Amino acid sequence: MSITRRVFLRNSALAVVGTAAVPSFLARAAMGAAQPGTRNKRLVVIFQRGAADGLNIVVPHGEAQYYAMRPTINIPRKSVLDLDGFFGLHPSLAPFQPLWQQRQLAIVHAAGSPDPSRSHFDAQDFMEAGTPGVKATEDGWLNRALRKLPQPSQKSAFEAIAMGPSIPRILSGVEPAIAINNINDFSVGGRNPKASPVANTFESMYDHSLDTVLQGTGEETFDAVKMLKSADPSKYKPAPGADYPKGRFGDSLRQLAQLIKANLGVQVAFADIGGWDHHVNEGATEGQIANVLHDFSQSIAAFWTDLGDLGEDTVVVTMSEFGRTARENGNRGTDHGHANVMFVLGGPVKGGEVYGRWPGLDQSQLYEGRDLALTTDFRQVLGEAVARHMGNKNLNEVFPGYDNQPGKFLRLLG
């Protein structure tokens, strides 16, 4: 069965690894990847799949109703990592506290999709497409965001990458993207009969490349993959203090840091983490939510430390399809809700602040009498990252049907 390079790039699991020894042509590519006087900027999007409980993640400990509605799963005031006297972090988010104090981390509460769906599948699809309520959208907003970015002088096959076995909805579209599952699973050596069929196919396509997007980079890219692979990815050493936890999410962010540090021209990247659908025995300071929050925050903090100075040109945004009910249910868990919380981390971020209007948790203030009400559309946060950080001002194409004007930005990015 024949296969085109574009289809291959969208569906294969390519893996590469960073190393301190960067070949000269990669250094030239990195220098030429930005317009004169600018540096390569990056946007990393992290999806918390399963509908994270924003009220137990960034706790409104200054609101009495929070404790009244969650008698067994609330985060006690004495355990909350206070931020501003009203909001505080779940104790498992301790790795985020220094980032907040250094004003590199901002929080947007009561944020999310305005669509009322409580279906995981539909809500995730809407957020990845960037068109809530519209199922006919064919591509993802992060792919569309690539179209009008400031063009580098030399294209890179690694401009858009997804950490996982296949291209997710958010990166699907006409712009090339690569899925990277595990750097140790990819074998290079097209003429080696023992090499994987994926590697052979990939190299064959590059050797005969006529694709204008990749023209002139095919041989160099594959040479880079060969060199970086030969450096033995298992011996990669993260920066001092970058303590990645074991597990899929930590591994994904460690590999992403390697790619970025290898100067391969990464502009947008996507990773996800599951385990947030806590209908039964959610837990409080300990238990299910505490465990996944520890993995979540420690992985992101390690990634940030690992980037070092490259963090100055990097913005990380987190999102989840919807939040949870304000009240706990009869199984000491929470059900599908509405508004949620988003984290924004990065060098250009005006951190140390909780953005967005807090709607309150009194009965009259709840959405449909049960959920945290939405006051900030997720596209407002993402639009600011795309326009102000990445330089794509055509937000009407990235988020069609949404009036995302600069005057509506939260001003959380410098």
Has residue 211 got a pLDDT over 60?
Answer: no
Has residue 156 got a pLDDT over 80?
Answer: no
- Distance between CA atoms of 189 and 349, rounded to whole angstroms? 42
The DSSP-derived string for 18-30 is: --S---HHHHHHH
Least confident of 62-66, 175-179, 222-226, 376-380: 222-226
Least confident of 165-169, 315-319, 381-385: 165-169
**Residue 260 contacts residue 18 (beta carbons within 8 Å):** yes
> Residue 292: its pLDDT value, please?
98
In a domain, 32, yes or no: no
Has residue 133 got a pLDDT over 80?
Answer: yes
What confidence tier does 153 reach under pLDDT thresholds 50, 70, 90?
low
In a domain, 122, yes or no: yes
In a domain, 35, yes or no: no
Residue 136: exposure state from Cβ atoms within 10 A (0-12, 13-18, ≥19): exposed
> Residue 230: its pLDDT value, please?
54
Answer with the residue of higher pLDDT: 403 or 21. 403
Helix 24-32 and helix 218-230: axis angle, to 10°? 130
Give the CA angle between residues 113, 293, 47 to the nearest 5°: 35
Q: Which CATH number covers residue 85?
A: 3.40.720
Instruction: Please report, rounded to a whole number, the percentage of residues in the chain having pLDDT higher than 70.
Output: 78
Average pLDDT (99-116) is 98
> Residue 182: its pLDDT value, please?
81
> Residue 233: its pLDDT value, please?
63
Has residue 268 got a pLDDT over 80?
Answer: yes
Has residue 260 got a pLDDT over 80?
Answer: yes
pLDDT tens digits, 326-345: 999 999 999 999 999 999 99
pLDDT tens digits, 7-48: 333 333 343 333 233 333 333 333 333 333 447 899 999 999
- Distance between CA atoms of 409 and 385, rounded to whole angstroms? 10
**Residue 285 contacts residue 77 (beta carbons within 8 Å):** no
> Residue 81: its pLDDT value, please?
98
> Residue 192: its pLDDT value, please?
37
Has residue 191 got a pLDDT over 80?
Answer: no
> Residue 406: its pLDDT value, please?
83
What confidence tier does 407 reach under pLDDT thresholds 50, 70, 90?
confident
Torsion, Cα of 299, 304, 306, 309 (10° steps): 180
What's the half-sphere exposure (Cβ side, CA atoms, 13 Å) at 288?
Answer: 17
In a domain, 30, yes or no: no
Average pLDDT (212-222) is 43
> Residue 367: its pLDDT value, please?
98
Average pLDDT (248-257) is 96
Has residue 4 got a pLDDT over 50?
Answer: no
Has residue 228 got a pLDDT over 90?
Answer: no
- Give φ, ψ of 162 to 5 degrees: -120, 130
Q: Are strands 88-89 and 58-59 parallel, antiparallel or unpaired?
A: antiparallel
Number of domains in the chain: 1
Please enumerate in sequence order all residues whose Cβ is within 8 A of that of 398, keeping only pairs 6 or more positions apart, or say none: 130, 141, 144, 145, 383, 386, 392
- Distance between CA atoms of 342 and 138, rounded to whole angstroms? 25
Please enumerate in sequence order all residues whose Cβ is within 8 A of that of 138, keeping only pairs 6 or more positions apart, or say none: 172, 173
> Residue 11: its pLDDT value, please?
38
In a domain, 351, yes or no: yes
- Distance between CA atoms of 31 and 398, rounded to whole angstroms? 28
What confidence tier does 222 reach under pLDDT thresholds 50, 70, 90?
low
> Residue 208: its pLDDT value, please?
41
Has residue 199 got a pLDDT over 50?
Answer: no
> Residue 46: its pLDDT value, please?
98
- Distance between CA atoms of 104 and 347, rounded to whole angstroms? 6
- Give φ, ψ of 309 to 5 degrees: -65, -20
DSSP state of 374: P
How much is the mean pLDDT over the chain?
84
What confidence tier does 151 reach under pLDDT thresholds 50, 70, 90?
confident
Helix 248-261 and helix 288-307: axis angle, to 10°? 10
In a domain, 266, yes or no: yes
Boundaries of domain holding 129: 47-408
In a domain, 7, yes or no: no
In a domain, 309, yes or no: yes
pLDDT tens digits, 230-245: 556 667 899 999 999 9
State CA 109 to chain mean position distance.
17
Please enumerate in sequence order all residues whose Cβ is within 8 A of that of 33, keeping only pairs 6 or more positions apart, or say none: 40, 152, 153, 154, 156, 265
pLDDT tens digits, 294-329: 999 999 999 999 999 999 999 999 999 999 999 999
> Residue 322: its pLDDT value, please?
98
